[in-house]
Amino acid sequence: MSRTLVLVRHGQSDWNLKNLFTGWRDPDLTEKGVEEAKAAGQRLKAAGLHFDLAFTSVLSRAQRTLSLMLTELGQEGLETIRDAALNERDYGDLSGLNKDDARAKWGEEQVHIWRRSYDVPPPGGESLKDTGARVWPYYIHKIQPKVLAGGTVIVAAHGNSLRALIMALDGLTGEEIVVQELATGVPVVYRLNADSTVASKDVLSA
C-alpha cells in the first residue's frame, strides 16, 4: 500500500520572471521553468516513484510542468485529470499588473495585505481562504480516495492552491501558511496513514 501523494508547484513562468500577478492568466514556462520541471522529474525518478494517476489545473504552466516531469519518468501516457479547482488563486484586478506598479497604485501596505493575509481578497479576486474553499473539497472527494486506496498520485498545480492543500495536510493555521514559501519545481512527497493523516513528508529539493 503506497498511499503516496506528491505535490509540485509548476516551474518558473514568464510572468513569475516579469514580477507580474498571474492568477488565472495563462503564461507559459520560461526556459528556466522547463529545466526546473525536468529536474523535478529526474528527482522523482531517482526516488523510485512511479505514478498511478495525475491531477493538474486547467492552466498551461502546470500542465506543461506535469508533462515534462512525466517524460523524465517515462510515463507520458499517464491518466491525467485537469480541473479548475486546482487553479492558482484568482488575483482579480491585480492580474497582469507588475507588483511594483500595484504598490504604486494601492500602497505598499495594502498590496502586502492582499498578498500575505489569509482571508483578505484583492478587488475582484480570491483570498487564500477562498482558494482553499475550492481546493479542499476537490481533494477530499477526488484526490484523497485515490491515495487512500493505495495509489501513488501526483498533483502539479500552483503556489496558492498547493499552499491550501499543505495547510490542511500539515495542520497549519492561516497565519502559519501565508508565510510558507513553496519553491517552483520542487516535489513535496507525502505518505499517508490509512486514516488520511500524514505518516511522513519529504521535500525533494536540488
Of 36, 88, 126, 158, catalytic: 88
Q: Which residues touch 184 (CB under 8 Å, ≥6 apart)?
A: 9, 10, 11, 12, 16, 33, 36
- Grid cell locating 205: 529539493
Do residues 75 and 51 lie in contact, with contact meaning Cβ atoms separated by under 8 Å? yes
Annotated binding-site members = 9-16, 22-23, 61, 88-91, 99, 115-116, 159-160
Q: Who contacts 19 (Cβ-Cβ below 8 Å, separation ≥6)?
A: 98, 99, 100
Q: Is 10 a catalytic residue?
A: yes
Q: Which of 10, 36, 126, 158 is catalytic?
A: 10
Q: Which residues are annotated as a binding site for substrate?
A: 9-16, 22-23, 61, 88-91, 99, 115-116, 159-160
Residues annotated as part of the active site: 10, 88
